[in-house]
Structure 1
């Protein structure tokens, strides 16, 4: 069982990144990866940057991608790609992580800090899925590479991958890059508001 979003999550957990991978950014990219797989499977098509569901005859072995197809079918006809990313992407990284854990693809790696405190984090187990994702990554497959770049796993932008020769996939990748940029801007605005509030409280003596 392998899909582009599964491969993306494996890469995000396995490969070093140029900056911390934000859950929100990863969720948007996973939604984009699902959409690209659904486009390739013929479950949907793009009409002037809007989605036209074509669910008849679509079958998939992956329950996560099946849920994405169901969400697509339940959505408004001709939904803009960006709207799909925000709607489907909400909490999607956590959904995939929970599925990986339920499937036994994650284990807890324990470590000792400062010789006293113990900590643990979830890591991938060795599996055929992990090997396939690593091979796809090593081959610099354009779609996977562009999605990874969008969330900061590589020091390149999604637009730096002209080898994506599928217009629909390119449109989705561009939408992912835009959405991730908007989310980063929103985080910046919130951080500035917190800083301004802290400065104001300091001046007031709080």
Structure 2
């Protein structure tokens, strides 16, 4: 399983403290994909720009799609621009992928972090692996889940994590920081629209 799929599973898990918005999750999923591409040396960062490397098969069709979608001509794409472009409707794509993989079922009632569809995670090794990364306080998963509002640290008797699994700490830190900023920006847009809508309603309502 990829970091993005693990993140999606965690966001869907009934034990998550809060539901996750589709937009927030999509941005974080795009960041998770980029971190996995960094891990396979498919990309590197030059400052905040994504420099494509070789294009090895990723053993995951969504990661292959992400690699194929990279801008391969300079000036290369900024991480922030990648998140907004690649993240568009990405949570829905991961829902479909997990359904195809048999990780989601509609036979039992459950909840999704977005939308009206009612589906539930299958109790599978993939689900247990994803949740174990969160409970072990694995740094990348911890940062991504915190960015979308999920915070659940490892149990007191759990072993300490072995450290950030990324081969490039600085690049991963950059991606995580940009994900956090993008989610905050999206929330600011929501709040501004809410205020504008309320003001518009007050105008029509009158004194």
State the TM-score, normalizing by the size of structure 2: 0.84
Q: 2:185 corresponds to which residue?
A: 182
Q: Judging by fraction of residues, say which structure has more strand.
A: 1
Q: 2:30 corresponds to which residue?
A: 31
Q: Is the 8 A contact 2:27 2:182 kept in 1?
A: yes
The 1-side partners of 2:78 and 2:68 are apart by 17
Structure 2 unaligned segments of length 5 or more: list them.
Answer: 111-115, 154-162
Cα distance, 1:55 vs structure 2 = 2.6
Query: Of 42, 57, 60, which residue of structure 2 is paired with 1:59?
Result: 57
Cα distance, 1:75 vs structure 2 = 7.1
Query: Of 89, 98, 102, which residue of structure 1 is paired with 2:87?
Result: 89
Instruction: Tell me the C-alpha RMSD between the 2 structures.
Output: 2.2
Q: 2:144 corresponds to which residue?
A: 147
The 1-side partners of 2:18 and 2:202 are apart by 27
Structure 1 unaligned segments of length 5 or more: list them.
Answer: 112-118, 157-162
Cα distance, 1:153 vs structure 2 = 0.6
| Number of residue pairs aligned between Structure 1 and Structure 2 | 189
Q: Is the 8 A contact 1:16 1:153 kept in 2?
A: no
Query: Of 195, 199, 203, which residue of structure 2 is paired with 1:196?
Result: 199
Instruction: Call closer, same or farther: CA 1:33–1:192 in 2, change over 3 Å.
Output: same
Instruction: Call closer, same or farther: CA 1:110–1:16 in 2, change over 3 Å.
Output: closer
The 2-side partners of 1:75 and 1:130 are apart by 38
Q: Judging by fraction of residues, say which structure has more helix.
A: 1
Q: Secondary structure at the match of 2:20?
A: coil
The 1-side partners of 2:206 and 2:50 are apart by 51
The 2-side partners of 1:120 and 1:46 are apart by 38
Instruction: Call closer, same or farther: CA 1:18–1:72 in 2, change over 3 Å.
Output: same
Q: Is the 8 A contact 1:81 1:175 kept in 2?
A: yes
Q: Secondary structure at the match of 1:110?
A: coil
Moved more, 95-104 or 143-152: 95-104
Q: 1:115 corresponds to which residue?
A: none
